[in-house]
Amino acid sequence: MREVDLAVVGAGPAGLTAAIEGAKRGCRTVVLDMNPRPGGQLIKQIHRFFGSREHRAGTRGIEIADSLFHEAASAGVEVMVEAEVYAIHDSTLEVVAQTNEDSLVLLSEEATTSRSRPLSIAARRIILATGGAENALNFAGWTLPGVMGAGAAQTMINLWRVLPGKKILMVGAGNVGLIISYQLIQAGGEMVAVIEATSRIGGYGVHAAKISRAGVPILTSHTIISASGESRVERAVIAKVDASWRIVSGSEQELEVDTICIAVGLHPNARLASLAECELCYSPSLGGWVPIHNSRMETTISGIYIAGDLSGVEEASTALEEGRLAGICAAASLGKERAGDYDDIKAIEGRLLGLRSGPFCQHRQDAKQELIGIGEAQCPKQ
């Protein structure tokens, strides 16, 4: 069995920064990701990121993914791709992974799935950074081919370079719905409309303005009633909703579309965390059920840490900071401290506080505070 000091699940921004901090402190560190390319959500984000320059804002997500990966590799982190972790046995902190290569797989190498084999890794500390997963939405015809998660459409256009349809309806005007609509236009698709059930656009105004001046109507207080067509989406019926979410009769309109993308939010991808028996708690502001953690990012299971969207759906900038925090704390618990760790932690906490301020983000700060409060009481003491 392979033995490492630190095993990180998920090679998104949180997982990679956690691994970098761990490796810098002398931990033998491995990162496992089920995707063929490291970077998590970043590998399909072709827009310039929000956040501060410190978090590489202004840089496109794909470039951040590449540079994080190279930073990890040069810090001595081993990154395994196409390695899905499907179980964690708590007491021995054993990671069971399935992978086709048990050695470092570089970005440029092609993926094959022909030689999958089970692999066990014994890790002294585990950091889960499994990110978020898209929420589904039920309506008549939602299972028809042509209805898909907005993230699936984004993967298709930006990774695979295939446009899933010509005339597209986006359901949801949060940042994800707005950004992916913009990217669908860039890929050559026609956005027929973006609809949003609440009375206001949830995402940033600047993203909405971008697609508005591209000629895309954003209809708030509108919901989807049905998708229909012969074996695939050919049309959608949308309608207005009133303040109490009732459909305004007579407001129905039919749109000729061949693709319907669903962007109604993400939830923490806590499957593995619950398999590892980490206790969860429900937090609407953080996207749903999140593993409870303390200020050191440690869960209710001693030795298992979390970071990024798994610990509350937020942003890459917060994921980078939380990853660092988890990496530093996990290394410290193995006695691998570095002079200056204390100051680093304080600085990270300060930046997180800044990122979680303002009308869009303050509610997350409050929710995080509450979660950490529960964590301080329930998680193992150092």
Partner 1 sequence: MRVVHHPILGDLPKVRQVKIWVDGKEITAHKGEPIAAAIAAAGIKIHRYTTKREEPRGVFCGIGQCTDCVMIVNGVPNVRTCITPVTEGITVETQHGAGRGGR
Partner 2 sequence: MSQAIESPSYPSQQELRNAPGYPSQKRLEKGPVVVIECIEEIPCNPCEQACPQHAITIGEPITNCPHLDEDKCIGCELCVSQCPGLAIFLIDLTHSQGSASVAFPHEYLPLPGKGQTVRAVNRAGEPICSATVVRVQNPKTNGQTPVVTVAVPRKYATEVRGILRPGR
> What is the contact surface with partner 1 in residues (CB under 8 A)?
34-36, 46, 60, 110-114, 133-134, 143-149, 151-153, 155-158, 160-164, 166, 186-188, 231-232
Non-local CB neighbours of 343 within 8 Å, separated by 6+ positions? none
58 or 340, CB closer to partner 2? 58
33 or 314, CB closer to partner 2? 314
Q: Which does 157 bind (CB under 5 to 8 A by kind): partner 1, ligand FAD, partner 2, none?
A: partner 1
Three-class secondary structure of residue 328 per DSSP = helix
Residue 60 near partner 2 by CB under 8 A: yes
184 or 367, CB closer to partner 1? 184
Backbone angles phi, psi at 199, to 5 degrees: -85, -5
Three-class secondary structure of residue 230 per DSSP = coil
Three-class secondary structure of residue 54 per DSSP = helix
The answer to whether 306 and 281 are in contact (CB under 8 A) is no
Residue 51 near partner 2 by CB under 8 A: yes
Burial 305-327 (b: 16+ CB within 10 A, else e): bbbbbbbbbbbbbbbbbbbbbbb
Contact letters for ligand FAD, residues 128-167 (x by CB under 6 A): -xxxx------------------x--x-------------
The piece of 45-53, 136-144, 185-193, 289-297 that touches ligand FAD (CB under 6 A) is 45-53
- Distance from C-alpha of 243 to C-alpha of 247, rounded to nearest angstrom: 10
Chain Cα centroid distance, residue 316: 8
Size of the site for partner 2 (CB under 8 A): 48
Residue 369 near partner 2 by CB under 8 A: no
188 or 250, CB closer to partner 1? 188
Backbone angles phi, psi at 183, to 5 degrees: -70, -30
Q: Which amino acid is at 197?
A: A
Q: Closest Cα to residue 265, out of 175, 362, 368?
A: 175
Q: Which does 176 bind (CB under 5 to 8 A by kind): partner 2, partner 1, ligand FAD, none?
A: ligand FAD
Residue 100 near ligand FAD by CB under 6 A: no
Please work out, in degrees rounded to the nearest 5, the angle formed at the alpha carbon of residue 45 by the alpha carbons of 41 and 48. Answer: 130
Pick the binder of partner 2 from 6, 119, 218, 367 (CB under 8 A). Answer: 218
Q: Which residues make up the interface to partner 2 (CB under 8 A)?
A: 47-53, 57-60, 185-186, 192-193, 199-201, 204-222, 253, 255, 315, 317, 354-355, 357-361
